[in-house]
Amino acid sequence: MKLIVGLGNPGGKYARNRHNIGFMALDRIASDHGFGAWKGKHQGSISEGRFGSARAVLLKPETFMNLSGQSVQAAMRFYKLEPADVIVLHDEIDLAPAKVKCKTGGGHAGHNGLRSIHAHIGPDYDRVRLGVGHPGHKDAVPGYVLRDFPKADEEWLDDVLRGISDGAADLAAGDTSKFLNAVAMRVNPPRSGTGTKGPKPAQKQATPPPPPRSQRPPNRQNPPCKN
């Protein structure tokens, strides 16, 4: 069984914040895959369901971002899971908007939600890094991630969320290549045809019209008669 965690802050005030893209992703997965109604448990909201025969639990910690690890640890203990059974989806300022990457282990890179999870269960869990872009200066980061996605981002955001849902079963099964391909098919769908062009056919040169009869040279095989 997999515990799939989406990071964010609870409450309508934060619902469309960049920091809440993890919550958004889980909402889309639960809706598209027919998971159960959200219930308040383990200091968060959970929704249970299956990808085929594989059971999964979706968790949105409601401790606020800085204490996310408390909720994750409580759910792990209840379901008797190890860090390797946990997948965390979170916003990533070090990736461009619409970029998605997967990672196992490593540091928290200053992300307060990951920092809390590290402190409670260690670093050896899987992550899905969801690019939201960088404001340009580190001092601007807190205000940037706690602001709503602008309207200009709505198209790529919807594509990313749909792609995550499309590939959720592969993500739960540990096939990150198929998962990332599902996201890419939404964000950058292939164009019709191969997209390559063959060499252009040689253009035929137009045959010039014959000259007027008065300008034609005499027929050498049949010279004019002499008087």
Could you give the residue numbers annotated as active site? Answer: 19
List helix spans (H) across 33-67. Answer: none
DSSP 8-state assignment for residue 74? H
- What SS3 class is residue 50? strand
Positive/negative CA dihedral, 163, 166, 169, 173 = negative
* Sequential DSSP letters for 168-204: HHHHHHT-HHHHHHHHHHHHSPPPSS-S--PPPPPPP
* Sequential DSSP letters for 81-146: --GGGEEEEEEETTS-TT-EEEEESS--TT-HHHHHHHHHH-S-SEEEEEE----SSGGGHHHHHT
Please give the single-letter amino acid code of residue 206.
A
| Cβ atoms 111, 154 nearer than 8 A | no
